[in-house]
Amino acid sequence: MASIQLTRMLWSCKLSTNIALSSRKCCSFRRTRQLDFGPLLKRNIQNRKLTAIRSEKSGNEGSISSAIEGEENSDVISSPEKPGLMLGIDRDDSGSVIGLNLIPGDNEAIDAEVVSTVTKVKDEEIKKEKIETRVTYNIVFVTAEAAPYSKTGGLGDVCGSLPIELASRGHRVMVVSPRYLNGMSADENFAHVFDANRRIKLQCFGGEQEIAFFHEYREGVDWVFVDHPSYHRPGNPYGDSHGAFGDNQFRYTLLCHAACEAPLVLPLGGYTYGEKCLFLVNDWHAGLVSVLLAAKYRPFGVYKDARSVLVIHNLAHQGVEPAATFKNLGLPSNWYGALEWVFPTWARTHALDTGEAVNILKGAIVTSDRILTVSKGYAWEITTVEGGYGLNQLLSSRRSVLTGITNGIHIAEWDPSSDEHIAFHYSAASLSGKVQCKTALQQELGFPIKPGCPLIGFIGRLDYQKGIDLIHWAIPELMEDDLQFVMLGSGDPLYEDWMRSAENTYRDKFRGWVGFSVPISHRITAGCDILLMPSRFEPCGLNQLYAMRYGTVPVVHATGGLRDTVENFNPYAGEGRGEGTGWTFSPLTKDCMLNALKTAIRTYRDHKSTWEGLMRRCMQKDFTWENAAIQYEQVFEWAFIDPPYIM
């Protein structure tokens, strides 16, 4: 380029008040915001200063102001070592000075270091300005669970991590969840939560229901908890050993009504969130929020500028109850159609059953401004007959507002280089610690210490969705090979008993840990060579992300988030180096699963360098919450483009 612009284009720039040039041979520029030399003077340019010297050509003893009056090229900018850069004057059409330029003197090229420095400074300024002007939102998460306060699966992980990441990006974030107390050690999670001294009465279930708010400000997020006696009972958030709680519709209707009131009545940090909020409603438990905004608030001018985004973590659970319960939800009677649901004939209990019901998740799908799922693959699957659970046609009709975003993971908690739960640490650059973790796990489980023996792991619920029946039928054939297999999980008592029996049958090759333990899950993830996930459907899946983070190669059924996150291994790609991060199989049969698993085992045994490449590629994948948060922000922007839902 012919010149370098060093100043902001200021239409009223009086050089004589900002730059003084003495009669001495050389003088330094005085730092000035108007001319914007500050960033440049901070950088190393030759002898770390920018000087203005009198031109050897002109001999003019005047100041720069004399050059402005008409003496061209009377002053130059240079370092003492490299003179010859001219200080040019930029003028507008009226002749007023608007800036300064460095231009080559005597056709000398501008110093490359100056060029790169100025360009870099400008790039940094542009980047800084973009960050400062990012649009921020008042975001309200509504969820049945949020780690570490309550957690049964991926929903708790998402609502415990994503709010923190969004808050770190400048948004004001509130999470509204029940205050579960079950008399167990989990109650300690609420030790730092205090009473917000705000009690309100909600109109639902035929009367007034009084609830209280509790609050904790942690990691930039307002964690708000709805307190009511119905949340104080033994068991997990949804049920106990006898099954799901019979009053779950009541419990989560309270949550939704309270979540709609929280931004209006809680002066957190001295002021409320107000009406212009973005509600992130998670699964059916929070789905009534979207309906309430449209039916109860907007008709009266409240929350007219708010938006709601439905996040579907698992479409199989929809909050379906008999039609007679609609009157309990606190909605106007003319809104019954939004939640109306009719079971097909084959699903009805008896000949006189009309199949009429209310479906809260359906109501959320109808009234939400945007719909998210936790992976791109799952966003497609729920529009199909096989994966739509009766809502596929409705979801297909809203495909224009349906988006899939893969969940992230907490990389500080799941980090093999610093994990407090594992005996040895390692990284993609140095994998020696993983071998030691494997040996430590074999010793802990009582396996023979065999570093070269493939160790396969499974972590998850013992139920039909996770494909546990396939593992059940495949274990006898697998145990014929020289390998070791460990399973961690709880669920169906039938499979819990089978795990105990298999451990007795294959004492040197199989271990079944009934229950769940966070430290053990970390040690299995770090110590195993292969993680098996034959899920029938998996909206996102987190265990395969944890496994890849630890260099444990996943073998998964090609469904939902598993298909999105695990790239099938191709040994011939990349000029023979191979590409991919694991193995996917389809259809979901025992034989297909065994073929994929046996291929992975052969690769582990016979191609060590290839296996190391697989491990390193797994560990280098980016599954951070920062990456997910950026995509969420784009959806937030889209949500505010169109007007909110109004019936």
Six-digit token string for 97: 């000075």
Residue 85 reports pLDDT greater than 70: no
- In a 3-state reduction of DSSP, which class is residue 145? coil
Q: Which residues of 425-454 are buried (b: 16+ CB within 10 A; e: fewer)?
A: bbebeeeebbebbbbbbbeebebeeeeebb
Residue closest to 238 by CA, chosen among 164, 151, 174: 151
Spatial contact of 193 and 215, defined as CB atoms under 8 Å apart? yes
What pLDDT shows up at residue 98? 61
At 99-144, the pLDDT tens digits run: 666 555 554 444 555 545 555 555 665 555 554 557 899 999 999 9
Give me the mean pLDDT over the 53-72 stretch.
Answer: 42
Give the mean model confidence (pLDDT) for residues 405-410: 93
**Quick one: pLDDT at residue 491?**
86
Q: Which residue has the higher pLDDT, 587 or 187?
A: 587
Q: How far apart are CA 111 and CA 108, in angstroms?
A: 9
Q: Are the beta carbons of 277 and 138 closer than 8 angstroms?
A: yes
Residue 571 is which amino acid?
A: P
Whole-number Cα distances in Å, 318 to 286, 393, 464: 11, 15, 18
pLDDT at 24 over 50: no
| Per-residue pLDDT band at 329 (split at 50, 70, 90) | very high
Rg of the chain taking only CA atoms, in angstroms: 32
| CA distances for 26 relative to 65, 209, 343, 430, 461, angstroms | 16, 81, 89, 55, 77
Q: Are strands 356-359 and 340-342 parallel, antiparallel or unpaired?
A: antiparallel
DSSP letter for 195, please.
E
pLDDT, averaged across the chain? 84
Banded pLDDT at 397 (limits 50, 70, 90): very high
Choice among 71-75, 82-86, 442-446 with the minimum mean pLDDT: 71-75
Please write the tens of the pLDDT for every residue from 144-174. Answer: 999 999 988 889 989 999 999 999 999 999 9
> Would you state the pLDDT for residue 645?
73
pLDDT of residue 22: 39
Q: Are 323 and 181 in contact (CB under 8 A)?
A: no
Pair 319, 360: CB distance under 8 Å: yes
187 pLDDT tier (thresholds 50, 70, 90): confident
Q: Which of 576, 557, 450, 445 is nearest to 512 (CA)?
A: 445
- Specify whether the CB–CB gap between 367 and 303 falls below 8 A: no
Residue 321 has pLDDT above 90, yes or no: yes
Cβ neighbours for 123, distance < 8 A, ≥ 6 positions apart: none
Helices (H), 528-584: 543-549, 560-565
The letter for the amino acid at 561 is G
How far is Cα 131 from Cα 148, in angstroms, rounded to an integer?
A: 30
Total residue length of the chain: 647
Tell me whether residue 185 is exposed, middle or buried, using C-beta atoms within 10 angstroms of its C-beta: 0 to 12, 13 to 18, 19 or more: exposed
189 burial class (0-12, 13-18, 19+ CB within 10 angstroms)? Answer: middle
Per-residue pLDDT averaged across 573-579, rounded? 77
CB 10 within 8 A of CB 37: no
Q: What is the token pair recorded at 540?
A: 């996102």
Element (H, E) at 281: strand 278-282
pLDDT of 95 reads 65
224: its two tokens: 């708000």
Q: Number of C-alpha atoms within 13 angstroms, CB side, residue 234?
A: 5
CA dihedral sign of residues 349, 284, 395, 336: positive
Position 298 scores a pLDDT of: 95
Give the pLDDT score at 80. 46
Per-residue pLDDT tens for 209-228? 999 999 999 999 999 999 99
Q: Tell me the three-class secondary structure of 478-507, residue by residue.
A: HCCCCCEEEEEECECHHHHHHHHHHHHHCC
Measure Cα distances from 230 to 117, 239, 245, 255 in Å: 64, 12, 10, 11
Q: Is the pLDDT of residue 60 over 90?
A: no
Amino acid identity, position 513: W
Contact by Cβ (8 Å): 484, 456 = yes
Amino acid in position 199: R
More confident call, 522 vs 96: 522
- 305 pLDDT band (50/70/90 cuts)? very high
32 or 421: which leads in pLDDT: 421
Distance CA 352, CA 372 (A): 38
- What does the pLDDT read at residue 40? 43
- For residue 37 the two structure tokens come to 């030399």
pLDDT for position 161:
93
Neighbours of 91 (CB within 10 A): 11
pLDDT at position 182 over 60? yes
Q: pLDDT band at 11, cuts 50/70/90? A: very low
pLDDT attached to residue 121: 54
Which residue reads 């899946």 in tokens?
Answer: 541
* pLDDT for 68: 40
What percent of the chain lies above the pLDDT cut of 90? Answer: 69
Q: Cα angle vertex 238, ends 172, 409, to 5°?
A: 45
State whether residue 300 is helix, strand or coil: helix
Calpha distance 157→501 (Å, rounded)? 32
Cβ atoms < 10 Å from Cβ of 329: 24
Collapse the DSSP code of 421 into the 3-class scheme (helix H, G, I; strand E, B; otherwise coil) and give the result: coil
Domains and CATH numbers, the chain: 138-316+369-374+402-408+631-641 (3.40.50.2000), 413-622 (3.40.50.2000)
